[in-house]
Amino acid sequence: EGHFTLVFAHADDPGTIVAARRSTPLVLGVGKGEMFVGSDVAAFIEHTREAVELGQDQAVVVTADSYRVMNFDGSDTDEYRTFH
């Protein structure tokens, strides 16, 4: 229950972050060798025009050059929107 967007980083793996959402926006900006996480594309529009909008109860594992979207149960999904 509740509404949240969370972003996690781990000291032992500084090149990877994990972000998750429930009932609040979460958008991933996909750049060349860089990624951006925000609540709106306005946060990174000057850096990239490619974005991924996560769906309800989804998480994303992000590195500088890749991302993997999954449901809260850990299963991979392609149920998200992309914008170019």
Quickly count: other Cβ atoms within 10 Å of residue 28's Cβ.
23
Residue 36 tokens, joined? 């951006």
Instruction: Check residue 1 and give its pLDDT.
Output: 77
Residue 81 tokens, joined? 């929107």
Query: Are 22 and 57 a contacting pair, CB within 8 Å?
Result: yes
DSSP reduced 3-state for 53: strand
- Please give the tally of structural domains in the chain: 1
Q: What is the pLDDT of residues 28-62, one digit of tens each?
A: 999 999 999 999 999 999 999 999 999 999 999 99
Give the domain range for residue 37: 4-83
Residue 49 is given by DSSP the state S
pTM for this prediction: 0.90
Cα 46 to Cα 81: distance, rounded to the nearest angstrom: 20
